[in-house]
Structure 1
């Protein structure tokens, strides 16, 4: 047995611990009083600290024997100096000595024992042991008044272990004093550039080479890897590298050089209209100098207004920038030949193949293009793919992978409460905007939030100039924000996760105000895509990513993780491949679309072998025959008139049948299109005031169940301000008057409201004035982009109604649909 005696000198006494075999819990703790005698200081009273009412004492002689038998006697530093001297003198009188040691004072207070050293935890200007530091951290977490999850506590312990500083770790729980040293989670380092490829040595056309040399003498690393892998030799490539590493130029080099070599035009495909607009502007400015023409295909812009930006849309241009659906519409309409000879197809953000809603269309489009342009060079680009090797193999392309960022990124985790966020974001954005990079660019910030309304709310709450940006804005409004940001005149853009992952904003800082998209947590893939927007090599020396989770927060009762736990998962996360899978309805849609580009069953099989999705082609063809969408004779297959309409209008089979049945019943075309698709993106302008008056949490969306409950309740309306009550009564009398059993949840209100929007459009009102009318009469607002989008879709659906009515010889319905379509178009 090893026996230690540890002592600590207080003012009037010395506390002594007897420690067996280095155990942290002592055998006993005693209080020693030393008394002067003619022989010097000697033990007088040794009282055991047992916590019992009756005192227990150790005889002095027994205590002396304990000291003599101890393997080690220790005196803790930091005690009362006069009592320390007395204790050491007493030991000297017994021919004993003591080692000076540093102990954890927190352990000592709790009658435990532990040493500390330079590697122990800093706390309140002293050192404490790891166990006490963890206890103090848990105490701070519990007293924070917020429900931190288990993973969050684990993370905080990791921070404590890494920093060895409890003050700093605890300060993460109260982020009023922003200090990047306290909030930094990690730094993603960049890698020094490898040996580069010089542009002057590339086999490019002279004018094109001169243009590239104006910007740089060498290629970026991923571009060099692509060249080495045969980019300029016509090889198909799947390029995976982080945002801002220079992927776009890889597609441009192949496409422009192929154009100049007379190999055919370039198609550049993107998922978002906003991104297509941006690329169109960039390519037009850049390549018109080489005598190349540029056009855009983003689906027909069917609503004429003064705010629409005029753009070249000819399919005969040398470079066509398009959304996936914009180009696919040409193929589905049987107009593949209008595209002419295709030399290069660039598919940007190709990981959209895994998107649940649009993935099947991206899959079908790529298969159809590979069939229609077999000689073309295909370049696929993505920043985030979980299984790139599998993708490259299926796409018939060589994988070019570069895993390093162009600039380092500091990632910060900032636990915060909802009411603190605007202040914290303002502070972070101001600090960033006041900073200039070595390239003389100001620091600018993108803030991601989970809804369009939050974009506006948060942008308005910041104490620095900020603008909302989302798909609900008109094209004109979005373009204005893009321009101001590009010029460095706008410090902050607040946007939604759904939109801005692809739009090119040269930001140095990305802040996640929310970690959700709507009410669903963002995926690791989305997070990497979005955080990759921070730090551009042409603008910045480094990027900053800040996550601002609210501890304990979740968006639905079904979510087991809380927001701060999701934050930690995202920071630590590995991407998972969802795969490209889709159901029967989507399979039927893609087969119909593919029959639009071939009349051979054999070739149809070839197209579908090129696709990721797998299904029983013969079985689905038989089904389409039974629906009278296609006709087959041996190896030959063609679309019926009905089938052509369904394919060209991107109609799911179920929707096509709804239109056909309504046409056969000779329903009003306005009723048909408003039953097909409701306008549900309407908001009560005064939802906050209504909520306050009724003491309820009033949803802002008009057609949420809880909202209709409140409006439908006469007693609730009587408690409202007179002006708001009048608006609500107008809404109720115009849209909530049906006699359906399930009213107001029968869909009639949504259908009537959708009719109202279309009728207002037929009165020659543009979306801005339509919204003003709705606000004035019902206190209901909407975003211009949503109204544009709804009217565009209404025109497409009316076109389908007209054509299907003609197929079934319903001339009256066809004529009414045509008239209404023209009025809505304007």
Structure 2
């Protein structure tokens, strides 16, 4: 047995521990009182600290304990006078003590542990890890919010990593923003030396001179692409972080192929906002080379005074388009209008894994590879979990560059909902006050989970900020993009849905929410969004800030809380969801592909190039049974009905809904509003209604709880007169059906959708329609949503007209045509 005795000098006594075999829990703890005698300091009394009645150790027994100890120790930091008395007492017994550093928190709790330079800092002293964890847990429990187990594990990891308890506890109270306390990690850049000089590239002189105006050398990923055969016509799948120069890879191939007369350049993107921006960039840049640029973003059918005029001819040298915009040409049988295609650049190709739109991009790529087999295909993505698998299926060489263009500091800021606006304002102000070595101010993108929150948060910030989302009109979005690009706008608040959208040169990205709607964002979404922080042409570094609310979740089905999701995202690795979709989507893609070939053999070739798993024979038979296709041996064609379905991006179920309604000679207005409701409507006075009725009033009009409140006459009687009149007006116009399930039968949504279309037929523009809804019903909507709904209504009315003609319903066809023209304006 090893026996140690430890003493610690307090003001009037010495705390003594008897320690066996180096265990943290001593055999016993006692208080030693020393008195002066003619022989020097000697034990006066030794009281055991047992918690029971007073018990003392005889002097001789204590002295024997000291003599039998393998080691006597005196803890540093005690009362100097008593330390001297203790050492003198030991000297009187021909004994001595080693001075040691111990954990004072252990001492208080009647435990023993040494500390050293690797122990935990806390209040200008060192304590052991066990005590630090206890203090941390105490701080977490007194924070007033519920932290999950994973969050506590993470905080303990921070504690071990930083060896600083004060810093770790400060993460719980971020009212004093100190980056040293909130920084989770830094993702460093690893800049490769320039290996490819632009002047040495085999490019036409006028194009090369244009590139040399921007730089003398290529960026690393661009150099890798050149080495992988970019200018030799090789198909490539380029995976690299945002702002590493991927776009120029596509441009170098596309413009050089154009100048070499190999065919035009198609640049495909998932969002209209991104297509608009690329269109503006390419038109300005390449008109100097005598090249024309046009845009294809689907059938823009609504005429408004705010409409930005754009060149849309398919005869242009460069065509920028959304996936659907280009696919519409193929589905319409107009692939020949595109002319000779030399290069196809597909940006944000990871959209293939999107549950709703992935099948359409998969089909589009397959169809383009078929109609332009000689073209060079360049696929671009910042984040893909399985790049090797993608490259193989796409028939492309993988070009992968894993380093960021500038370092990123990632910060984790636990906070409460009511603190966010203040904290974001402070972070944004600090960032906007900074000037990079490239003389650019720091600007901030804030991601939140809904359009409503974009407006609410932008208005709550004490620094100039603008909401930005797909619900705004093209004109409004353009203004914001321009102001941000000029450095005039410090903050843009946007939704996760625009993560892959417009190129805002921000140095700081703040995640006000970690959800998209009510669903947590994925690791892939997070990397895509956080990758937008820091641009090498503008900034020296990027900042990413996550602001989770401990204990928060967005739906009852979520087991993780927001701070636990934050930690998962920071630590996470991407998982490939794969490109999978159901039979309804497969039927749509087969139908769309028949629009570009009449050969079953070629149809099989198209679908073999796609990611989706197709049983082609079975699907063809199904479409034949639906009378969408006709087949004679190896020859296959669309019926008139099938061509309408393919061209209008209709699912099989929607096609039959229209057909059945046409055969019943329903009104076209009723048909299109039953096909698609306008549900992006909000009660302008939702907060006031909620306060008056003491309920949590949802802002969306057509949520069940909202309709419950409005449907209840007693509730309405408690409202302010003005608001009550608006609600009564809404109820009398839209909640008057006799359905058994009213108001949850869908009639209210259908009538409201009809109202929007009818207002449009009165020659009102989307902005005026929104104003009318606010005045009469206290309901607000976004211009972009109204515009999009009317655009879809025109497309559906066109389908109704054509399907009515197929089935010889001339009256329905004529009525649909007249309504379509009025809605178009």
Matches within 5 A, 1:272-287: 272-287=271-286
Please give the per-residue CA displacement for 1:555-595, whole angstroms capped at 9, x wherever unaligned.
01110000000000000000000011111110100000000
Q: CA deviation at 1:502?
A: 2.5
Tell me, yes or no, if structure 1 residue 201 matches structure 2 residue 200: yes
Question: Aligned residue for 2:297?
Answer: 298
Write out aligned runs for 1:253-268 (5 A).
253-268=252-267
CA distance in 2, matches of 1:785, 1:400: 37
- Deviation of 1:750 (Å): 0.2
The match for 2:587 is 588
Aligned to 2:45: 45
Q: Equivalents in 2 of 1:448, 1:192: separation in Å?
A: 28
Residue 356 of structure 2 is matched in structure 1 by 357
The equivalent residue for 2:86 is: 87
Q: Could you say what the CA RMSD is over the residues aligned between the two structures, in angstroms?
A: 0.5
Quote the offset at 1:300 in angstroms: 1.4
- Give 1:628's aligned residue: 627
> What's the counterpart of residue 574 of structure 1?
573
Match for residue 698 of structure 1? 697
Specify the alignment match of 1:652 in structure 2.
651
Large movers: runs of 4+ above 3 Å? none
Instruction: Name the residue aligned to 1:819.
Output: 818
Give me the whole-angstrom Cα distance separating, in 1, the residues matched to 2:262 and 2:85: 98
In the TM superposition, residue 39 of structure 1 has moved relative to its aligned partner by: 1.0
**Rounded Cα–Cα distance in structure 1 between residues aligned with 2:129 and 2:394:** 53
Structure 2 matches for 1:197-276, cutoff 5 A?
A: 197-276=196-275
Matching of residues 383-394 of structure 1 within 5 Å: 383-394=382-393
Measure the CA separation in 1 of the matches of 2:335 and 2:796: 23
SS in 1 for 2:641: helix
Distance 1:35 1:778 in 2: 90
Compute the displacement of 1:120 (Å): 1.0
Match of 1:181 in 2: 180
Instruction: Render the CA deviation track for 1:773-799: whole Å, top value 9, x for unaligned.
Output: 111110001000000000000000000
Residue 519 in 1 paired to residue 507 in 2? no
Aligned-partner Cα distance in 2 for 1:222–1:361: 29
Counterpart position of 1:8: 8
Is 2:447 the partner of 1:484? no
Contact 2:672–2:797 (8 Å) recurs in 1: yes
Cα distance in 1 for partners of 2:346, 2:813 equals: 38
For residues 178-201 of structure 1, give each alpha carbon's deviation from its aligned partner in whole angstroms, at most 9, with x where no partner exists: 000000000000002234200000
Partner secondary structure for residue 545 of structure 1: strand
Structure 1 equivalent of residue 710 of structure 2: 711
Question: Secondary structure at 1:374's aligned position in 2?
Answer: coil
The secondary structure found in structure 1 opposite 2:649 is: coil
Residue 167 (str. 1) matches residue 166 (str. 2): yes
Alignment of 1:769-784 (within 5 A): 769-784=768-783
**C-alpha separation between the residues in 1 aligned to 2:74 and 2:622?**
90
1:80 Cα shift?
1.3
Residue 55 (structure 1) shift: 1.3
2:366 paired residue number: 367
2:118 matches 1:119: yes
Whole-Å separation in 1 of the counterparts to 2:193 and 2:579: 35
Quote the Cα distance in structure 1 between the aligned partners of 2:74 and 2:439.
60
- For residues 34 and 254 of structure 2, the distance between their equivalents in structure 1, rounded to whole angstroms, comes to 93
* Corresponding residue of 2:407: 408
> d(CA) in 2 for partners of 1:667 and 1:680?
22
Residues 553 and 561 in structure 2, CA contact (< 8 A), matched pair in contact too: yes
1:477 shift after superposition: 0.3
- Any gaps of 5 or more consecutive residues in structure 2? none
SS in 2 for 1:23: coil
Describe how 1:65-104 pairs up with structure 2 within 5 A: 65-104=64-103
For structure 1, list consecutive stretches of 5 or more residues without a partner in the other structure: none
Equivalent residue, structure 2, for 1:609: 608
Residue in 1 that maps onto 2:749 = 750
For residues 410 and 646 of structure 2, what CA distance do their matches in structure 1 show? 46
Measure how far apart 1:81 and its partner are: 1.2
Q: Distance in 2 between matches of 1:583 and 1:83?
A: 82
TM-score (norm 2): 1.00
Structure 2: how far apart are the matches of 1:163 and 1:402? 31
Match for residue 31 of structure 2?
31
| Separation in structure 2 between the aligned mates of residue 569 and residue 500 of structure 1, nearest angstrom | 19
CA deviation digits over 1:486-508, x for unaligned, max 9? 00000000000001332100000
What's the counterpart of residue 672 of structure 1? 671
Q: Secondary structure at the residue paired with 1:799?
A: helix
Secondary structure of 1:301's aligned partner: coil
Shift of residue 45, structure 1, vs aligned partner? 0.9
TM-score, normalised via structure 1 length: 1.00
> What is the rounded CA distance, in whole Å, between the counterparts of 1:640 and 1:413 in structure 2?
58
* Contact kept? 2:122, 2:165, Cα under 8 Å: yes
Paired residues, number: 825
Cα distance in 2 between the residues matched to 1:96 and 1:565? 55
CA contact (8 A) 2:3 2:71 kept: yes
Query: Which residue number in structure 2 is paired with residue 134 of structure 1?
Result: 133
**Residue aligned with 1:103, SS:** coil
* Whole-angstrom CA distance in 2 between matches of 1:464 and 1:368: 48
Residue 730 of structure 2 corresponds to 731
